[in-house]
Structure 1
Amino acid sequence: MGARRLAAATVVALPFLLGAASGSPDVPADPVFRFGDPDVVESSGLVVVDGLVVTVNDSGDSGRVFVVDPTSGETVGVTSWSPDPVDVEALAPAGAGHVWVADTGDNRRVRDSVSVLRVPVGRGDRTVDPEAYELVYPDGARDAEALVRHPLTGRLFVITKGVFAGSVYAAPPRLRADRPNPLVEVGQAPGIVTDATFLPGGGGVVMRTYSSAHLAAHPSWEQVASWTLPRQDQGEGIALAGSGLLLSTEGARSEVLRVPLPPEARTTDLGSPAWTALRWLALARGLPLSVG
């Protein structure tokens, strides 16, 4: 193998080598459920929708997402579509009963564009024909495993997976299906980000790697805090669930864990427009405002 090919292979393999022995066994975590569906073998994205957990397999699967009841771990619905995606890597909330599916994986950085699809989810199986929205980077192909949606504006952000650092790209405020949608770089991210989620008020974003979590303020994308995550074989999913986070990992019958948010997360989100509005409303009406 030549030096150039060896270097390219190392870049592709390094994230997986880093994930093989990641996390800390000392971090407290509560097991929530274990995926019971034998078809869920590479949980690579995680979203909570209407009390149900939605996940998607990593690259190589057909076009489908799984809806799981967290009380049992059993799949209660599958949404399928065609044609098959290239490399699905993440999910993001998309309003009531829907998720955004991120077909954004590109380990070898050869794709001219990537895409996102908005698909319905819920109990029961369904086959759909979702609209695909093409996204184009301003500076060449990138590999990305994280997609987030701002809870107030609905704007999508793609977070790339660089070895030492990544970038955050904003999609247009309104996506067009009839033409490519240009992405704009708006911030920096840690290296090896495998998934992310906004805090409920939109004032902060939690990005996970195989072994750690990083809280960034929005819209500055400046880092506020970081902490070690529990050990997982190859952790690639994170979702907001109440006052905590759900974490998933690749592997058959893998376990989903729940960890608390750090105090900095609450402080960061209290500076968001949503919480600012709530505080003024509470003051105007003489009501107490607490954050759980």
Structure 2
Amino acid sequence: MDCNNTMGTGARMVRSATVLTCCAFLLGGVPAAFAQPASETLEPAQPVGPVPEPLCFPDDRGLEELSGLIVVDGTVYAIPDGGSEVAVAEMAGVLDGDCTVTQWIRDTLNPFDPEDLSAHDGKLWIADVGDNRRLRQTVALISLDPETGSTALHRLEFQDNRPRDSETLLIDRFGMPIIVSKWFGLGEVFTPVGRKNVDALASPGPTALEHHGDVAFPITGTPGGPIEVVGSTLATGGAVNSDGTIAAIRTYTDVYFYANADGDLLRALNSEPVRIPIPNEPQGEAIAFTESGDLLTASELGFAITGDPNRPPDGDEPLPPINIIRDVESFVWNTLQERGHSVPERLLPPASSGGGIGGSGETSASATEENDGLLSDRMFIAAAISTGIVLAIVLAGATTVLWKRFRR
């Protein structure tokens, strides 16, 4: 079932009603029927899985706002958020525990708000898709040749002309870019019209983007991020594994893994994810798979809107580490196999090669998709309700900080 199939009239009505409910929370308090302890709004605990561990600490202040990562042939590339030129840091020794920047690849092309980084067919792709104030008429992907430093601009526009803030770029094994927007509890999924490959994007464009449905991010209770528990509901970065069968989308506090054995990532995004917490990152926005199936995570230096408004607090404050979560791919496929989902044939034990998963061989992706689609709606509703409650608290804190700042 395509993600777009979950966006029928009924689903739209449910989501619209939910958004109105959240507005009611913010404007008029919480109805008694929904008042409940915060713990009851959290997602059920996931199976115990691999945990992040520090790999190395960047020491180049140009990475204070590290926002995107990619691993290509063992070399890690990173981009900062902002700036007046294309700037990509090459770090050849990260996987060996050395975060030294070996060189900066720069170009005079001036991005508006670069937020994520991916790669395809020898080129790096910078997702210039950020729009915090939601004012942009177009967003863009910028291709960069890491050997020559040459760039090309590929503008993109939303078909409904409604600006979105986005921080997540996924490029599937076929070269199709997928952009996921950033909003409380919800990420809208977009691809170029006709599901064009990145190499087919017009330069400078624009190319229209079409909507394929939504993914939901509920409050999880994982600590970290700049805006307390609401940070767990905002999509801040993405990655695709080396064989194109797993898409990962992170929030400030957690990573969600969506898998499809055939590499259909749109279908994967409509399935039940596997979640791994990544706690205590100050403003985590970057993830990247290694070729061996581990996952790197990284954070901006960050600051909390409910704390000291000065950023950074100290000019010599150490930058957050690049962390590694080992054996992520195996954990994801093992978890999905336990749930009865299809996994790549290369990962099946010999006894399962003749029949499917779970012994009888009757469970398949098509047999589980109906439930997956329903789960997506339920996750959205849970995320919206819980986010509405907590957002009121966070907005109150932010208002207090701004009042204090302008009172000085």
**Contact 2:69 / 2:116 at 8 angstroms: preserved in 1?**
yes
**Contact 2:140 / 2:155 at 8 angstroms: preserved in 1?**
yes
Correspondence 1:184 to 2:210? yes
- Alpha-carbon distance in 1 for matches of 2:294, 2:50: 14
2:113 aligns to what?
87
1:265 aligns to what?
332
Correspondence 1:225 to 2:293? no
* Alpha-carbon distance, 1:111 to partner: 0.3
* Alpha-carbon distance, 1:229 to partner: 1.2
Q: Runs of 5+ in structure 1 lacking a partner?
A: 1-6, 11-25, 283-292
Tell me the secondary structure at the aligned position of residue 219 of structure 1. Answer: helix
* Alpha-carbon distance, 1:203 to partner: 2.7
Q: Residue deviations 1:26-60, cap 9 Å, x none?
A: 97322111112122111100100121111111124
**Contact 2:293 / 2:329 at 8 angstroms: preserved in 1?**
no
Aligned length: 249
**Match of residue 195, structure 1, among 230, 234, 237:** 237
- Alpha-carbon distance in 2 for matches of 1:145, 1:197: 11
- Alpha-carbon distance in 2 for matches of 1:99, 1:247: 18
Correspondence 1:253 to 2:319? yes
1:148 aligns to what?
170
- Alpha-carbon distance in 2 for matches of 1:169, 1:258: 29
* Alpha-carbon distance, 1:193 to partner: 0.6
Q: Residue deviations 1:140-179, cap 9 Å, x none?
A: 111110111112x011111110112011111223211153
Greater percentage in helix: 2
- Alpha-carbon distance in 2 for matches of 1:91, 1:119: 10
Calculate the TM-score normalised by the size of structure 1: 0.77
**Contact 1:27 / 1:230 at 8 angstroms: preserved in 2?**
no
* Alpha-carbon distance, 1:271 to partner: 4.9
Correspondence 1:37 to 2:63? no
**Match of residue 286, structure 2, among 216, 237, 259:** 237
RMSD: 2.8
Say if 1:264 and 1:185 are closer, same or farther in 2 by CA, change over 3 A.
farther
2:133 aligns to what?
108
**Contact 1:27 / 1:229 at 8 angstroms: preserved in 2?**
no
Structure with larger Rg: 2
Say if 1:263 and 1:215 are closer, same or farther in 2 by CA, change over 3 A.
same
Correspondence 1:77 to 2:88? no
Identity between Structure 1 and Structure 2 (%): 23
1:289 aligns to what?
none
**Contact 2:115 / 2:127 at 8 angstroms: preserved in 1?**
yes
Calculate the TM-score normalised by the size of structure 2: 0.56
Correspondence 1:164 to 2:231? no
**Match of residue 54, structure 1, among 67, 77, 82:** 77
Correspondence 1:67 to 2:109? no
